[in-house]
């Protein structure tokens, strides 16, 4: 028996369009992002991939993407589970900064190390910075040492995996079709785990906005179709290219 796992990165956000490092800043979708989310849901409906449960982060760009996609698939009524462990990577002191300006100031190597290396986090963010979430009430129950001030992808894998094993995988093993609406880097962390991608190779993997990626998960929690299947491969390729080139003027 296999179950269907659908990964959906949120549609374009206001800060994706402005080329700003976002991380845990709670930025909303723009019009293009809303249209992408709706289109993602239409693709699900046309393939009869109908989620039984949805897991999202606690950030509105993922929450709204899930709502728009499920509405388009007529599945707006399914149970929702939200958790900070699915949040975007915390981008530390880079949150709110212009990607092209950072690339210019620090050079391509440092810029790409901060963006895509597996284990080098950006500098820590001051907890009183205007783009810090340290005092945000939605994280009030988290012990202060768990509230990130910066994260590399390795940190995201470590905080995301307990949620995978405790919440998402049990839904799949119960035979449910599961939608995970999340973020570029939290989904890179999950895909790295599912496909067994090495720490080096994961640097080259980007997730497109708003295009469902479907895995068939077996009874051991492993994909029967490694790499998954994008429901709109052309749109996925175009969006992957755009994500890759962020920060280039």
Q: Could you tell me where the DSSP H helices lie in 108-206?
A: 108-116, 153-163, 169-173, 184-195
Separation of first and last alpha carbons in the chain = 48
Residue 185 in contact with ligand 2PG, rule: CB under 6 A: yes
As measured in angstroms, the least distance from the Cβ of 4 to ligand 2PG is: 25
Does the annotation mark 10 as catalytic? yes
Q: Where are the beta strands (DSSP E) in 66-137?
A: 80-82
Is the distance from CB of 90 to CB of 148 less than 8 angstroms?
A: yes
Known binding residues for substrate: 9-16, 22-23, 61, 88-91, 99, 115-116, 184-185
What is the spatial distance between Cα 191 and Cα 157, in angstroms, rounded to a whole number?
Answer: 10
Does the annotation mark 67 as catalytic? no
What is the spatial distance between Cα 108 and Cα 244, in angstroms, rounded to a whole number?
Answer: 13
Choices 18-26, 46-54, 79-87, 190-198; region in contact with ligand 2PG by CB under 6 A: 18-26
Residue from 3, 4, 21, 153 that binds ligand 2PG (CB under 6 A)? 21
Count of residues near ligand 2PG by CB under 6 A: 11
Residue among 21 and 84 whose Cβ is closer to ligand 2PG: 21
Residue 184 in contact with ligand 2PG, rule: CB under 6 A: yes
As measured in angstroms, the least distance from the Cβ of 98 to ligand 2PG is: 11
What is the spatial distance between Cα 116 and Cα 108, in angstroms, rounded to a whole number?
Answer: 12
Residue 22 in contact with ligand 2PG, rule: CB under 6 A: yes
Is the distance from CB of 123 to CB of 92 less than 8 angstroms?
A: yes
Residue among 131 and 177 whose Cβ is closer to ligand 2PG: 131
Is the distance from CB of 15 to CB of 27 less than 8 angstroms?
A: yes
Which of these, 1, 24, 29, 7, lies nearest to 190 by C-alpha position? 7
Q: How many residues can be counted in the chain? A: 249
Of 83, 88, 151, 183, the catalytic one is 88
Residue from 3, 16, 65, 177 that binds ligand 2PG (CB under 6 A)? 16
Residue from 53, 83, 91, 223 that binds ligand 2PG (CB under 6 A)? 91
Choices 17-25, 32-40, 41-49, 216-224; region in contact with ligand 2PG by CB under 6 A: 17-25
Residue from 71, 110, 113, 246 that binds ligand 2PG (CB under 6 A)? 246
Q: Which residues of 129-168 are buried (b: 16+ CB within 10 A; e: fewer)?
A: eebbbbeeeebeeeeeeebbbbbbbbbbbebbeebbeebb
Query: Taking CB under 6 A as the criterion, which residues in 109-138 touch ligand 2PG?
Result: 115
**Catalytic residue list:** 10, 88
Name the residues that contact ligand 2PG, by CB under 6 A: 16, 21-23, 88, 91, 115, 184-185, 243, 246
């Amino acid at each position: 028996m296999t179950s269907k796992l659908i990964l959906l990165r949120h549609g374009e956000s206001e800060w994706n369009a402005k080329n700003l490092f976002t991380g845990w800043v709670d930025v909303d979708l723009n019009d293009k992002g809303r249209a992408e989310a709706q289109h993602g849901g239409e693709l699900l409906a046309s393939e009869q991939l109908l989620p039984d449960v949805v897991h999202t982060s606690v950030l509105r760009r993922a929450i709204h993407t899930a709502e728009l996609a499920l509405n388009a698939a007529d599945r707006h009524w399914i149970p929702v589970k939200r958790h900070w462990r699915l949040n975007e990577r915390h981008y530390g002191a880079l949150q709110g900064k212009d990607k092209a300006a950072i690339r210019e100031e620090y050079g391509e190597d440092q810029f790409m190390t901060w963006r895509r290396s597996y284990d080098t986090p950006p500098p820590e963010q001051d907890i009183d910075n205007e783009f810090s979430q340290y005092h945000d009430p939605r994280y009030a129950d988290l012990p202060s040492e768990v509230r990130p001030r910066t994260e590399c992808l390795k940190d995201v894998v470590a905080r995301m995996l307990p949620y995978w094993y405790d919440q998402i995988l049990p839904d799949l093993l119960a035979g449910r079709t599961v939608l995970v609406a999340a973020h570029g880097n939290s989904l890179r962390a999950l895909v790295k785990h599912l496909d067994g991608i090495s720490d080096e190779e994961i640097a080259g993997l980007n997730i497109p906005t708003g295009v469902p990626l479907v895995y068939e998960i077996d009874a051991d929690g492993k994909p029967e179709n490694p790499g998954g299947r994008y429901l709109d491969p052309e749109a996925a390729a175009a969006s992957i290219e755009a994500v890759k080139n962020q920060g280039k003027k």
